[in-house]
Amino acid sequence: MTGIIVFAHGSTIESANDAVHAVTSQLAHRTGCRVETAFLDCAPPTMADAVARLAGDGVRRVVVLPYFLTLGVHLQRDLPAIVDRLRPIYKGMEFTVSEPLDGHPALLDVLIDRYNGIVGGQAF
């Protein structure tokens, strides 16, 4: 069984974390997969918490989806280190990490939608 972890930075502003949890819930509903939220900093649950819950549900493959716009230090250094620490604990579990959101063609559509919402629906 495959599980998904939506991995975000985390914030001291609870509504920001709630927004990530909402995306996680929507992803679970749309995919039918077991999906957990994990935060790097400022808020629980951690990646270790999320992996433990997935492992407890019998998940053997974890796909980590970074909820980060660009490939910054947290995705280049911190996330790989976290996954490397978890691999020996969950020896039978496969971990795959996707790329950040940057570069996905849908992001341009999102920006255009945001722009159109401000200027009254005037398309480019």
* Residue among 73, 64, 14, 13 at smallest CA distance from 37: 64
Answer yes or no: is pLDDT of 21 > 70.
Answer: yes
In the sheet where 2-8 sits, what is the strand order? 34-39, 2-8, 61-66, 94-97
* Residue among 102, 96, 95 at smallest CA distance from 71: 102
* pLDDT value of position 122: 63
- Tokens in use for 113? 């939608």
Answer yes or no: is pLDDT of 55 > 80.
Answer: yes
| pLDDT tens-digit series, residues 76-102 | 999 999 999 999 999 999 999 999 999
* pLDDT value of position 106: 95
Check residue 77 and report its DSSP letter. I
Domain ranges of the chain: 2-118
Answer yes or no: is pLDDT of 124 > 70.
Answer: no
Give the Å distances, CA to CA, from 111 to 2, 104, 114, 122, 124.
Answer: 32, 12, 5, 13, 11
- pLDDT-derived band at 119 (thresholds 50, 70, 90) equals confident
Answer yes or no: is pLDDT of 35 > 90.
Answer: yes
- Residue found under tokens 């808020």: 43
Q: Assign a CATH topology to domain 2-118.
A: Rossmann fold (3.40.50)
- Tokens in use for 34? 């077991």
* pLDDT value of position 120: 77
Report the alpha-carbon distance of residue 113 to residue 80 in Å, rounded: 33
* pLDDT value of position 76: 93
